[in-house]
Amino acid sequence: MPISMALKKSAPSFCSIPTLFLVFTFLCILCLFFSSSSISSALSYHKTLRSTTDFIKVYVADLPRSLNYGLLDKYWSFESDSRLGSDADREIRSSHLAKGSKFPPYPENPLIKQYSAEYWIMGDLMTPQQQRTGSFARRVFDLNEADVVFVPFFATFSAEMQLGMAKGQFRKKKGNEDYQRQRKVMDFVKNTDAWKRSGGRDHVFVLTGYD
């Protein structure tokens, strides 16, 4: 018998099928471990990155209620609105939602509802953080942490209120409650530390335009 054949028969086989299978399994487990570890690390990093860069920090100016939700209180105190859509609001007026609510509902009158952006933005910011999902804005209560200052004046609704009550005074200063509210807002914010710090450059006013 040739010596080479004798050595093959006498030497243990390290390349047998069971051995190869065990080696392959071990390598797969290692790859799976390191892959899982890498994925977990990547997800953790992505989550941290999202938590620090994917939102804007918003400080809400402490305007008097009369300049936002108080305007809605006033609207719902009217017996009716003679403009288009009053039937939808009549039902809300008759319910408990429209009376004495901390956060009164917005009118369903289509002439008014189309200008409701500031209402929904303020509602989002007033909602407790743990109940807010999908919002890119995060409310902060320390001015020094804020990226912007949101001024919660229901500006367009204020204009709609004036149009509904005394349309003839809308383009005048005297007797125009909307103009008086605008002046009140500016007088208020210009006297705050936030405004004095930036000159108003980081203040956000929501003004929904008309056609």
Q: Are strands 56-60 and 148-150 parallel, antiparallel or unpaired?
A: parallel
The label of the residue with tokens 């609207």 reads 75
Q: Single out the residue of 119, 118, 125, 117 nearest to residue 55, CA to CA.
A: 125
Q: How many CB atoms lie within 10 A of CB 85?
A: 15
CB-based contact 101:192 (threshold 8 Å):
no
Q: Single out the residue of 97, 76, 101, 103 nearest to residue 164, CA to CA.
A: 76
The label of the residue with tokens 């797969």 reads 28
| Structure-block tokens of residue 62 | 């402490």
The pair phi, psi for residue 56, each rounded to 5°, is -110, 135
Q: Single out the residue of 148, 145, 162, 129 nearest to residue 201, CA to CA.
A: 148
E-state strands within 61-176: 137-139, 148-150
Question: How many Å is the Cα radius of gyration of the chain?
Answer: 33
Measured in whole angstroms, the distance separating CA 36 from the mean position of its chain's CA atoms is: 33
Measured in whole angstroms, the distance separating CA 198 from the mean position of its chain's CA atoms is: 23
Q: What pLDDT does 201 receive? A: 94
**pLDDT per residue as tens, the chain (211 positions):** 444 444 344 444 444 555 544 444 444 444 444 444 444 544 454 454 445 557 899 999 999 999 999 999 988 887 766 665 677 788 787 775 555 678 899 998 888 888 899 999 999 999 988 887 778 889 999 999 999 999 999 999 998 888 767 555 556 667 788 899 999 999 999 999 999 999 999 999 998 875 5
Give this prediction's pTM.
0.68
The label of the residue with tokens 């901390």 reads 102
Q: How many CB atoms lie within 10 A of CB 152?
A: 24
